Structure 1
Amino acid sequence: MTDLSTRAVVTAGGDEGAASARPTPRRRRTPAKVRAGLWTSYLILVGLALIYIYPFILSVAGSFKTDADATQNGLSLIPETVTFAAYERLFTGSPFPLWFGNTMLVTVIVTLGRVFFDSLAGYALSRLKFRGRTVVFLFFIGVLAVPGVVLLIPRFLILQQLGIYDTYAGMIIPLLSTAAGVFIMKQFFDSIPVSIEEAARIDGAGQFRTFWSVVLPMARPALVTLIILSFQGSWNELQHFIVSRQSPELNTLTTGVASLVSGQLGSGNQFPLQLAAAVLMTIPVAVLFFIFQRRIMNTTAGAEKG
């Protein structure tokens, strides 16, 4: 018994010694050239990020300055005297809340409209077989190549003829659908196999029910992308609101801030007031982008994942 226990102890000790004697695997070191390339890439990206974010930081800093400080030290990031006078004046001495409400109303309705109508049009071009479908799709592609400025005067004349100029309807209806949104949804629906819809049709679902209950939920990645692009586009829209309205009561944030820049609401440079309005105008779009930035995807890649 003693010999067996001694052997066991010796064997265990030998195993521990062998284990400790084994060389520990060394981590492979990254070559110096590769590390130098990575650090160079990081420095370039940091530099580009600073270039892009510097104007926004300058706007935030300038919104807390006095008029004299903003005029004399426009590029300074540290105000001589931190003041909230620009924000107070923006909410008490200007129609900024009205502009914000008009923009929110138009943006929400336009975003919902684009999601619905662009999805319907994209599904029709993808699934419905009708004569001239290719011509219609090429027409949408052609519209994408036309600069928006070219359509401003015809849009103004149409709104006047329809009697909806200088109304909420004239501001909203022309934006309810876009060729880019139809193209995105059509390309996504093309990547969804048609066989998925056969089960719903066997159960007696019609064309719209199949679209609404089966296909549309599968297009969630494309829908999120369309929502983000529609919200951002309608929130920052300027050209259409210039030609579709005239009354100050229908001003949006873009046209209202433009009136601040042009000096229509007072004398002086009003730099802090203008910068404060620009900063507040940027916040909703920035928040939406940071929340859903991972959802902004390539349409084909999103279709494969869906």
Structure 2
Amino acid sequence: MSDRNTVHARIASADGSKRASRTMGKALHRVFSSSWIIYVVLIMLAAIYIMPFIIQIATSFKTDADAAANPVSLIPAVWTTAAYQRLFLNSDFPLWFKNSVIVTVFVTTGRVFFDSMAGYALSRLHFRGRDTIFALLVAVMSVPMVVLLIPKFLIIKSLGIYDSYFGMILPLLIDASGVFIMRNFFESIPQSVEEQAKIDRAGTFRIFWSIVLPMARPALITITILSFQGSWNELSHFIVATQSPSLTTLTKGVASLASGQLSAGTQYPIKLAAAAIMTVPVAVLFFIFQKRIMNTNEGSVKE
């Protein structure tokens, strides 16, 4: 009797193992099937997102007639760099590019410095009204920037810096989102690191500059890229800060090209060539530092 029970138990165990294997196989099949569906959907979305940029690059190498006749074709009938030659030789594009570089370099440098200092002050220094200032900072982040254009214009005019590099740069030297990011990153750094420096009689600025700031490298890189992209692509501020043609930036110049103020309505190659060149610096900066942006825990210290 005991042998018969043992045989039945083994048969039941084998059947259970087979059912478990079949169940596991079905589950794995569903997982892999759903993964393939997800990959296909992601590839399609990526293609939809990238396709306009590819069409833009292809059209910039077409003739005006070819672009008008075949606006979405990916292969030009005749490859030509005439649009780029016109941009650099027969337009103010080099001047626009120079102005954008000057403004972007100063704004990016200023934001990295001042945002980090303000973020450190809100994170580590104890003073009256600190929480109120931070609350106002968060409130400013929720206000659409277009609402502030008229007050910004009035302030720039009253300070006498309208139509100048100062008027284009100074109002952009600090932004609420950068301060918010730096403040939150500094909050994640243990204070024991700074307490040891205080024992060695290091001052507040020395602690910030020599000890805490190097540890905030991931946040600094993030701020650098966001500031570069924001100032490089800024348009509304430059509209209210200047009207001199000699201070036109790439965004204003390309907008004028797109609207047909500086070119005929069907001159697609020169317009898209200008737009393509404008996207290159931001794309290069992003691809260089994208791994460091993703690794947001780099440099953190655990107690």
From 194, 207, 214, give the equivalent of 1:210: 207
Pairing 1:61–2:58 present: yes
The percent of aligned pairs where both chains have the same amino acid is 64
User: Deviation per CA, 1:183-216, whole angstroms, max 9, x where unpaired?
Assistant: 0000011111111111211112111111001110
1:264: how far off? 2.2
1:41: how far off? 1.1
Tell me which residue corresponds to 2:71. 74
Amino acid at match of 1:224: I
Q: Is the 8 A contact 2:115 2:175 kept in 1?
A: yes
1: CA distance between counterparts of 2:235 and 2:263? 22
CA RMSD of aligned residues (A): 1.7
User: Deviation per CA, 1:46-95, whole angstroms, max 9, x where unpaired?
Assistant: 00100100000010011011111111211111111111110110110111
From 291, 296, 299, give the equivalent of 1:294: 291
Pairing 1:259–2:256 present: yes
Tell me which residue corresponds to 2:158. 161
1:305: how far off? 6.5
- Residues 1:302 and 1:136: Cα distance change in structure 2 (over 3 Å): farther
2: CA distance between counterparts of 1:141 and 1:297? 24
2: CA distance between counterparts of 1:298 and 1:172? 30
Amino acid at match of 1:200: A
2: CA distance between counterparts of 1:240 and 1:274? 22
Tell me which residue corresponds to 2:127. 130
1:302: how far off? 5.2
1:39: how far off? 1.1
Amino acid at match of 1:85: A
Q: How does 1:81-92 map to 2 (within 5 A)?
A: 81-92=78-89
Tell me which residue corresponds to 1:148. 145
Amino acid at match of 1:57: I
Q: Is the 8 A contact 1:99 1:252 kept in 2?
A: yes
Q: Is the 8 A contact 1:222 1:302 kept in 2?
A: no
TM-score under structure 1 length normalisation = 0.87
Tell me which residue corresponds to 2:106. 109
- Residues 1:303 and 1:188: Cα distance change in structure 2 (over 3 Å): farther
From 239, 243, 250, give the equivalent of 2:247: 250
Pairing 1:222–2:219 present: yes
2: CA distance between counterparts of 1:233 and 1:176? 11
1:36: how far off? 1.1
User: Deviation per CA, 1:195-251, whole angstroms, max 9, x where unpaired?
Assistant: 111121111211111100111011111101111111111111111111111011101
Amino acid at match of 1:131: R
User: Deviation per CA, 1:93-138, whole angstroms, max 9, x where unpaired?
Assistant: 1111111111111111101100110011000000111111110000
2: CA distance between counterparts of 1:305 and 1:230? 26
2: CA distance between counterparts of 1:225 and 1:133? 24
TM-score under structure 2 length normalisation = 0.88
From 27, 31, 34, give the equivalent of 2:28: 31
1: CA distance between counterparts of 2:301 and 2:32? 34
1:267: how far off? 3.1
2: CA distance between counterparts of 1:302 and 1:203? 26
2: CA distance between counterparts of 1:297 and 1:168? 34
Q: Between Structure 1 and Structure 2, whose CA radius of gyration is higher?
A: 1
Unaligned 5+ runs, structure 1: 1-27
1: CA distance between counterparts of 2:245 and 2:295? 40
- Residues 1:202 and 1:185: Cα distance change in structure 2 (over 3 Å): same
Q: Is the 8 A contact 1:123 1:185 kept in 2?
A: yes
1:269: how far off? 2.1
1:32: how far off? 2.1
Tell me which residue corresponds to 1:3. none
Tell me which residue corresponds to 1:118. 115
2: CA distance between counterparts of 1:304 and 1:297? 14
2: CA distance between counterparts of 1:267 and 1:46? 37
1: CA distance between counterparts of 2:227 and 2:139? 20
Unaligned 5+ runs, structure 2: 1-23
Tell me which residue corresponds to 1:43. 40
2: CA distance between counterparts of 1:302 and 1:179? 23
